[in-house]
C-alpha cells in the first residue's frame, strides 16, 4: 500500500506543468553576472525551458538543438564561475559541471562538443537521514564552483546540468536541464603537463539504466544516491 501511494505521487509529479521548468540562462564569470545567453549556447527556441530526456541523443551535450553562441569569454584557471537559473529549482536531483576541450584545429564557435568531457564539480543531496533526503530545491538561484587551477589552457565548453529525478522511477523519465558556455581558459597548465580525467562522451557517458538516472527517490529513500558520470577530476 505504501509503495502504491509513492508511485502515485511520482506519477503526479511527472505531469508537471511548463511553469515548473527552468533554464540556466546567465553565466557568472569574472565577478559578473552576464546577460541572458551571453557566452551560453542557445537551444531549441529562445524561451524553451523544458528538459531533454534522451541520454542517447546529441541533445544530452548542451540541450535541445543547441547551437554555438557568437561569443567566447576569457577566464583564468582557478577562478570562480557559475550559472544562474531563470526561476526556482522545483525538482529534486543532483547538479554537475563538466569541461571538454575543443580540438586545436576547430573553432569553439562551430565545434559540436563531440569530445572528451571530464567532471569538475558536483552537488548531490544536501542532507540525508533514514526518513528523507533533502535536495537543493527552491534554495539557490546561483551555483558557483571553480575552474580547476591545473586545467590545460585552451578553448572549452563548460556544461552545467541539473538532473530532475521526480519521475525517474519510470525508465527514461529523468529530466536533464543543461546549458553550455564557451570559455577560453588562460593561465592554466601547459600542453602535456596534465591529463584531466576520467572522461566520458555525450552521448555515451550515460545510459537510461544508470542507477542515478533510473531510480525511485521516494521509496525506498536512497541514502547513497550515485551521481551519474565519472568521478570529479582531482586537481
pLDDT tens per residue across span 7-20: 444 433 433 444 58
Residue 200's SS3 state is: strand
Domain hosting residue 51, numbered range: 2-200
On the question of pLDDT at 46 being above 80, the answer is no
- Torsion sign over Cα 225, 81, 88, 44: negative
- 106 inside domain: yes
In a domain, 210, yes or no: no
Determine if the pTM surpasses 0.75: yes
Who's near 138: CB < 8 A, 6+ residues apart? 88, 89, 90
Q: Does residue 172 sit within a domain?
A: yes
**pLDDT, mean of residues 32-50:** 93
Whether residue 45 is contained in a domain is answered as yes
**155 lies in a domain?**
yes
Question: What is the residue-averaged pLDDT of the chain?
Answer: 91
How far apart CA 89 and CA 116 sit, in angstroms, is: 28
Q: Is residue 117 part of a domain?
A: yes
Among 92, 89, 175, which Cα is nearest to 134's? Answer: 92
Mean pLDDT of 80-93: 96
Cell of 16: 508537471
The verdict on residue 223 lying in a domain is no
Specify whether the CB–CB gap between 120 and 99 falls below 8 A: yes
Q: What is the pLDDT of residues 181-225, one digit of tens each?
A: 999 999 999 988 999 999 999 999 999 999 999 999 998 888 889
As given in the structure block, the three cell numbers for residue 125 are: 543531496
CATH number of domain containing 75: 2.70.50.70
Q: Is the peptide bond before 203 cis (omega within 30 degrees of 0)?
A: yes
Q: How many CB atoms lie within 10 A of CB 105?
A: 6
* pLDDT value at residue 129: 81
Length of the chain counted residue by residue:
235
Q: How many domains does the chain have?
A: 1
Q: What does the pLDDT look like over 142-168, one tens digit per residue?
A: 999 999 999 999 999 999 999 999 999
Residue 141 near residue 73 (C-beta atoms within 8 A): no
Give a yes or no: residue 221 inside a domain: no
% of residues, the chain, pLDDT over 70: 91
Amino acid at each position: 500500500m505504501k509503495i502504491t501511494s509513492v508511485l502515485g505521487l511520482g506519477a503526479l509529479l511527472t505531469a508537471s506543468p511548463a511553469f515548473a521548468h527552468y533554464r540556466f540562462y546567465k553565466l557568472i564569470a569574472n565577478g559578473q553576472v552576464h546577460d541572458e545567453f551571453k557566452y551560453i549556447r542557445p537551444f531549441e527556441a529562445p524561451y524553451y525551458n523544458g528538459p531533454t530526456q534522451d541520454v542517447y541523443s546529441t541533445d544530452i551535450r548542451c540541450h535541445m538543438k543547441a547551437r554555438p553562441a557568437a561569443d567566447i569569454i576569457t577566464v583564468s584557471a582557478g577562478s570562480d564561475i557559475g550559472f544562474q537559473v531563470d526561476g526556482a529549482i522545483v525538482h529534486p536531483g543532483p547538479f554537475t559541471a563538466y569541461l571538454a576541450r575543443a580540438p586545436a584545429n576547430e573553432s569553439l564557435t562551430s565545434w559540436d562538443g563531440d569530445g572528451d568531457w571530464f567532471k569538475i564539480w558536483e552537488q548531490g543531496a544536501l542532507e540525508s537521514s533514514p526518513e528523507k533526503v533533502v535536495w537543493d530545491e527552491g534554495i539557490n538561484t546561483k551555483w558557483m564552483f571553480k575552474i580547476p587551477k591545473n586545467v590545460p589552457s585552451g578553448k572549452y565548453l563548460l556544461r552545467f546540468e541539473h538532473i530532475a529525478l521526480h519521475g525517474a522511477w519510470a525508465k527514461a523519465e529523468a529530466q536533464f536541464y543543461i546549458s553550455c558556455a564557451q570559455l577560453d581558459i588562460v593561465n592554466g597548465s601547459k600542453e602535456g603537463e596534465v591529463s584531466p580525467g576520467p572522461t566520458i562522451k555525450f552521448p555515451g557517458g550515460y545510459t537510461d539504466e544508470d542507477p542515478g538516472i533510473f531510480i525511485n527517490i521516494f521509496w525506498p529513500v536512497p541514502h547513497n544516491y550515485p551521481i551519474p558520470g565519472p568521478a570529479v577530476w582531482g586537481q
